[in-house]
Amino acid sequence: MTRNAMMLASIAGLALSAPAAAQDAGPPAATPVVKTEAGSVQGLKQGGIDAFLGVRYAAPPLGDLRFQPPEKPEAWEGIADATGYGAPCMQLYSASGPNESEMTRRIQAIFPTSTEAKMDNEDCLFLNVWAPAAGHGKKRPVMVWFHGGGYAYGSGNWPAYNGRNLAEKGDVVVVTVNHRLNAFGYLNLAEKFGEDFAASGNVGNLDLVRSLEWVRDNIAGFGGDPDNVTIMGESGGGSKVSHLMAMPAADGLFDKAVIQSGPGVFSGKPAEAADYAAKILDAAGVETLEDLRYVRSDEIVEAVRKATPAGSAMGRGPQFGPIADGTIIPRDPFLPAAPELARDIPVLIGYNKDEMTLFVAAQPWFGRLTEGTLTAMTGAMGEQAVAAVAAYRKRYPDYSPTHLAAIAMGTRFARGTYLLADQQAKTASAPVYVYRLTWETPIGGGMLRTPHTLDIPLMFDNAKESAALVGTGEDAQTMADMMSDAWIAFAKTGTPSSALLPEWKAYTPSARNVMELNVEPQLVDDPEKDIRELPSEL
């Protein structure tokens, strides 16, 4: 492919991934050239916003750097291309059920998990920047997004995360990040290969730290303020934010934290992670350091699948994620208390009313449960599930047995959110703000209600571009206006606010103020007290 052909392909790919507003003014113009510590970069404008995509923030984690902490990228000459996304990490995505419905395919357009598995790569340490006017010397708040997908799959490239609209609306700089995932970022090799691999179980999170160091050192050139950085994430991304709050290496690299549907209260345990790693190495036929260096990445992914019991994707087996190794992550982030490092960090945290519908809607039983099968199912799940169904039945008498089962399965999101909020509020000098998204998406006849990920296109102000998930009605844009306003205000001031919201008071253990986000939002007191106080089965 010629250089001109490659450029045309990059432009075509950018148009497919950009918000609609960015496609209305004809072919995109080039951004200013911005100098970074490693070299200059240039991207393309998206509807007047400067977009720098696929910027390398660390050296390729290959060869001697495989399973090692990230290092700064080598300097380059000339102007590096920043017109197209960098590769996502090797993906370990497993669908939770049949993946053939039209609605699923539409949602895949904004969360392209299957597509990214076709282009993943170990060389994945890239980030993306959207800036209203890069290189103009203005200091704008910086909003850094860490993607979901647990610690197994995903990237900062997903169209739902496109930062163009948020950057324009808020006059902020938006950054999204790719990092090492699954075995490439969280394989604890210390027991097998010794001190040289002491960090291997946490290098994925050290990548996040490296990205924040890059922001500190380079974001001013893009018009961002390195002294006003908010980190944000949903699902696994929320857990990543939670852990960064407890990591000494991240201390001082951010000022505010947003945790969406992913409270990271505790970490993995080194011994369990080492045992899982041993099974994976055995499945991959890796015995020596030479084997470890040269085993192909696809063979590692296949070994993970062989070594992982069925059902682990739903939390019933070994999981990849950061481990409390006593050094990189000194202890569980929010147990027995919130981290001292985060006492001056304002926190915005929350969850969606019906988180689990997104995961179980493809299951054969969804939409078919009777009262009898609901009783049998929840009985098998344990006393907590039975109590949760009883509580939700009183709160939502119109819910079908299917939706009662789904909402009861998602109590860990609510309970984890309140636990983290309580722990942080007990000791922090900075405020904690809690939300609960209750607005229901109309797609699929309303079958998903308020599912996992629904918050993302709303706070990114990408409702129009994410109609596959939020629908096309006016209410979706109302919600996007409201939530993006609040998130931008939080990034700027440490207090979420919007003219579309009542006054948002801080959450404390004695005044559990929660903003219920709906077309008619309201601040309520401890709205799921009965769920929060259920006996723990964690």
Closest CA to 124 of 73, 200, 75: 73
Closest CA to 473 of 517, 446, 444, 442: 442
Closest CA to 423 of 537, 531, 263: 263
Distance (Å, rounded) from C-alpha 317 to C-alpha 23? 44
494 Ramachandran zone, left/alpha/beta (phi>0; psi -120 to 50)? left
As to burial, measured by CB atoms within 10 angstroms (0-12 exposed, 13-18 middle, 19+ buried), residue 297 is middle
Cα–Cα distances in angstroms (integers) from residue 283 to residues 36, 201, 301, 444, in the given order: 42, 18, 10, 41
The catalytic residues are: 235, 355, 452
CB 496 within 8 A of CB 433: yes
Give Rg (Cα) of the chain: 22
- Residue 513 forms beta bridges with which residues? 525
CB 447 within 8 A of CB 357: yes
Give the pairing type, strands 432-437 and 513-517: parallel
